[in-house]
Amino acid sequence: MASDPLADLGPRLRRLRTARDLTLAQVGNETGLSVSTLSRLESGGRRATLELLLPLARVYGVTLDELVDAPATGDPRVHAKPIQAYGGTIVPLTNRPGGVRAFKHVIRPASRSVPEPGTHEGYEWLYVLDGQLRLVLGEHDVVLGPGEVAEFDTRVPHWFGCADGRPVEMLSIFGPQGERMHVRARPHTARSSESGSQGVRARGGS
């Protein structure tokens, strides 16, 4: 039976940090993550998500595969090795530890159903390939269908998951630099107008 690469993530994060003589506060300043979140990640008390792991990989100067201890191949080509995380599947499409990163996501309905918005430094772009993606972004609550795009400053509280009972496939590009929020999607039922949907521009799939 294959081992779970995330099982020993907490101790690995602590080793990476201490090997670089960094305190939790210093890592927090570099990543925008709170000391309590970092401490819980290292102790196993907080579930690791892509949005938490990306800034840590950048600060520690390792790839996402290295951070979760996925086997190295020695091949310069990017091998689409799936990573199971928070109930879904993430496929890294780039190897660089810093700068812009690209991923393919497959989100299962039961894995992300209750919005738990979070924040971190950076800027993210999402493109839906299949299914209906619900995006909660600040006061906005929208649904993106195939061919629709959202891009936003990740310092704005955000969360995304399945809008209905079907899986969602999407591409994401994440950059460490924060920029102004910009969304192209259609409102998610009546909740969008009640929670302040003005400023969200609709655009059909291309």
pTM (2 decimals)? 0.54
> Which residue would you say has higher pLDDT here, 99 or 153?
153
Number of domains in the chain: 2
For the segment 17-38, what is each residue's pLDDT rounded down to a tens digit?
888 888 999 999 988 889 999 9
- What's the pLDDT score for residue 16? 86
For the segment 129-149, what is each residue's pLDDT rounded down to a tens digit?
999 999 999 999 999 999 999
Domain containing 19 equals 1-76
Average pLDDT score over residue span 57-77: 67
Residues 58 and 11 in one domain: yes
Residues 58 and 13 in one domain: yes
Residues 55 and 131 in one domain: no
Residues 16 and 69 in one domain: yes
Distance CA 156, CA 139 (A): 10
CATH code at position 7: 1.10.260.40
Residues 61 and 156 in one domain: no
